[in-house]
């Protein structure tokens, strides 16, 4: 027990700084989660899409505008859409750069394959252009940003998993609780090598495993069967009926950001200058960029 507590102290300190070299020596899915998990999601889930409605020119949600300006893009190059699913009365507002590798159809399909209450953790899904796939979660406001050709459901689930971890209060992440750290101490593996980055990334990858298991009733063959059962079991016990099941609700969604002009104003630029630079580690409310294989 003393050894376990000492290990947990190390995990807490390392998780807070994100510098832990390795959580576990065993990797359950050594080639990553995309290969084993995406086929099952693709073949056994459907996006309950009802309609996609493009906005008129000149207007954009403030959250999308902020992401565009922070990354050096002109908000006038944004394409904004309301996306309605049959399992929720309220549409989501998606934003994509005109040159983004993800089409609005790609975005709506990948996002829609998650359970409705997982989707309800997200305010605005945003797509920006990039040569390779990476993503960020803005856990204080509920936005997720996909860079490049990130069509894989596992990537969308990973970023939404960061929102589940924080639930708009990043300082109270579930991945930093004693319950999660005890479960981690009792397990012998992480889902994949990326999960070894820190406890925050580990949690998001276990979300992928748990969503798959909840929706399909099994998980792909493990290299070390049962090696992450403590974290997987804790996550499903805590979140399954409120977030992971398909029959959840779309209540308690983050409020949409206000509608503003696409034109960059002096106020916009002043706000951007006051904020910390939008890079990894500069803001505790931002997780990522998380890099994924193309």
195-227 pLDDT, tens digit each: 999 999 999 999 999 999 999 999 999 999 999
Query: How are beta strands 92-97 and 125-128 bridged, if at all?
Result: parallel
Encoded tokens for 39? 């086929």
Please tell me the predicted confidence (pLDDT) of residue 283: 74
Q: What is the pLDDT of residue 247?
A: 79
Mean pLDDT calculated for residue range 237-241:
95
pLDDT, mean of residues 12-28? 66
pLDDT tens column, 135-190: 999 999 999 999 999 999 999 999 999 999 999 999 999 999 999 999 999 999 99
Average confidence (pLDDT) over 258-275: 78
> From CA 86, how far away is CA 102, in angstroms rounded?
22
Spell out the domain ranges in the chain: 2-291
- Residue 257 pLDDT > 90: yes
- Give the residue ranges of DSSP H helices in the chain: 2-17, 34-44, 62-70, 104-112, 116-119, 153-166, 178-186, 199-216, 229-239, 266-274
264 against 250, higher pLDDT:
250
Q: Examine the pLDDT at 289 and tell me if it is beyond 90.
A: no
Average pLDDT of the residues in 44-72: 94
**What pLDDT score was predicted for residue 133?**
95
Does residue 269 register a pLDDT over 90? no
pLDDT of residue 7: 56
- What integer best gives the mean pLDDT of the chain? 89
């Amino acid at each position: 027990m003393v050894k376990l507590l000492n290990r947990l102290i190390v995990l807490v300190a390392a998780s807070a700084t994100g510098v832990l070299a390795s959580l576990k020596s065993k990797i359950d899915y050594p080639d990553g989660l995309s290969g084993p998990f995406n086929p099952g999601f693709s073949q056994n889930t459907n996006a309950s899409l009802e309609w996609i409605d493009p906005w008129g020119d000149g207007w954009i949600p403030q959250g999308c505008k902020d992401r565009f300006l922070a990354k050096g893009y002109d908000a006038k190059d944004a394409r904004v859409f309301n996306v309605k699913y049959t399992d929720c009365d309220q549409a989501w507002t998606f934003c994509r750069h005109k040159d983004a590798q993800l089409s609005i159809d790609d975005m709506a399909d990948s996002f829609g394959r998650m359970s409705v209450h997982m989707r309800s953790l997200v305010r605005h899904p945003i797509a920006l252009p990039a040569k390779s796939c990476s993503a960020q979660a803005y856990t204080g406001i509920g936005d997720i940003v996909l860079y490049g050709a990130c069509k894989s459901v596992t990537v969308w689930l990973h970023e939404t998993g960061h929102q589940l971890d924080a639930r708009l209060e990043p300082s109270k992440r579930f991945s930093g609780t004693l319950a999660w750290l005890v479960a981690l101490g009792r397990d012998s593996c992480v889902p994949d090598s990326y999960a070894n980055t820190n406890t925050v990334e580990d949690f998001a990858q276990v979300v992928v495993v748990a969503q798959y298991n909840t929706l399909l009733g099994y998980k792909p063959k493990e290299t070390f069967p049962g090696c992450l059962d403590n974290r997987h079991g804790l996550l499903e016990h805590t979140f399954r009926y409120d977030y992971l099941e398909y029959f959840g609700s779309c209540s308690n969604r983050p409020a949409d950001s206000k509608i503003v002009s696409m034109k960059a104003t002096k106020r916009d630029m002043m706000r951007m200058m006051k904020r910390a630079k939008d890079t990894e580690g500069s803001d505790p409310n931002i997780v990522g960029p998380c890099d994924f294989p193309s």
